[in-house]
Every structure is written in structure tokens, then in C-alpha cells.
Amino acid sequence: MNAGDEMSALWNGTGGNAWVDLAPVLDRMFGGIEAMLVDAAAARGARRVLDVGCGTGATTMAIARRLGAGATCTGVDISAPMVAAAVARPAEGFPAPEFVVADAASYPFEEGAFDLLVSRFGVMFFADPVAAFANLRRAVAGGGLRFVAWRGPEENPFMTAGSRAVAHLLPDLPERRPGAPGQFAFADGARVAEILAAAGWEGARVEPVDVACAFPEPGLLRYLTRLGPVGQALGDADGRTRAAVLDALRVAYEPYVDGEEVRFTAACWSVGAESP
């Protein structure tokens, strides 16, 4: 199975279903990043926005709400379960976005159909990122992009503490391969700029941003055991192993618990570029 097929299988199976179940937690967690993209769309005066890797639609809906009448927003994601959840979100007082189940890397968008591409952690999963961003550039001909992606794992200890804590209990944890499609595919900011240039984008700006994130403490173990390498490996574990993993995770993440909330800093890249 190639990388693209692996991503499709993950996001249309356990990964996509887990993301739907955890949408309230994740939307709260990444609210600050959503706000960055909403502000960017408004500041640019965008009227036709494409949200790539839209997931359950929180960012797409927030931009549609902010831009209001006369603007159109479209979310695209490879995950049918997540898009179904996005479609089910109520749109009250603003034009409802359109949501499409498709692989944005190859989907035949109309040339110049959009004036802005945005993404909240949705563009790090392309098997061939240069080809994917070339396809997206044609869809945004004459417009621009603004997306947020993770920096490296060493700068995001919250995202890696679980794997470190339970590696001795789950020997089959999926390996994080530098540069491979996945959460930290864009850890190297220089590589991100090179990908965009090779795909025909101009004036790439790859800037580090640190975003404060928080979500209710009761969602912590659900998040840790459903998503990421631990979530993937834990599915087939026996009851004894699962109990040991939960105990190890509680200890590892105690430093991030502040009363009734979990708090951490997301070390990200804020990326912008223009499509000639």
C-alpha cells in the first residue's frame, strides 16, 4: 500500500472516526490556530476560500461566519466520516459552506476558482507534496495561501510524550519517519519553502509561531488513546496492557494538567505564499 492509500485508509477508518468523536476536544484545543486563519482570510478580503484538509469543518465554518454574505467557502477532505460531520454542522446567519470528499492533491478544481487557500494542519499528508501544491496553485490562480503546520517533534513535547512514555509497553508503535507524510512532515521550514517554489508558488513566507492551546482535562486520555501513534497501536492491546498504558500516560501528562484544563504550546509554522 502506497503512502496515499495508507492515508486514505486511516482517515476513512479508525483515524477519521476518532477525529469525529473527538471534534469538540480538538476544536477547543486548536481554537487559537483557527482564529489565526480566520483573521488572515478577513484581512485579505477573501471572498472565495478553499479549506484543505477541513476535517469536521470548524475552520471552514468560522471563516464563512466571519466573511458573511457574498463570500463562499469550500472544505475538502479525504475522510468521508469527517466531511459527513462537517455537513451536519448548523450554519445560522451566514452562507453554509460546501464540503467535498476528495483528495485535494489530485482533485480537478476549476482553475482560479478560489482566491485563498487555508489549512489547519491539513496539508502535511500528501504523498507527493510538490504535485499536490501544484494542483492547488491552479485552483487558486491569482490568489494566495495561508496554512499552519507543525514544526519538529523535538519542539512539540506534548505531541510526543505519550509515545515516549509507553514505547516499552507498545513495541509496535508506528514509526515517525522524518519528512514522511504525517503530523511532522513539514518540520523543516526550508523544505516547506522549497516545496512551494517547486510547485510554482511565489514569495513563500515560513514563520515560526507558538500558539497556546487548552482543552478540558476529561478529554485528555480519550485524545491520547484514540489518535496518533499510541491510538493506532493501542487498538489491539489486551486489557492488562491497556491499563498499564493508561497509567503511564497519566504520569507523563501530569505536567500539562492545570486544574480542570490541559495546557500546552503548539510550535508551528505559519506559511504564506502567492499563486501568480
pLDDT digits (tens, 9 = 90+) for 101-144: 999 999 999 999 999 999 999 999 999 999 999 999 999 999 99
What H or E segment, with its residue span, contains residue 250? helix 239-253
For residue range 54-67, list pLDDT tens digits in order: 999 999 999 999 99
Cβ burial of 224 (10 Å; 0-12, 13-18, 19+) is buried
* CA 186-176-21 angle, 5° bins: 85
- pLDDT for residue 3: 58
CATH superfamily membership of 3-152+178-213+267-274: Vaccinia Virus protein VP39 (3.40.50.150)
Contact 139, 109 (CB under 8 A): yes
For residue range 236-272, list pLDDT tens digits in order: 889 999 999 999 999 999 999 999 999 999 999 999 9
- pLDDT for residue 235: 80
Cβ burial of 152 (10 Å; 0-12, 13-18, 19+) is middle
Supply the pTM of this predicted model.
Answer: 0.94
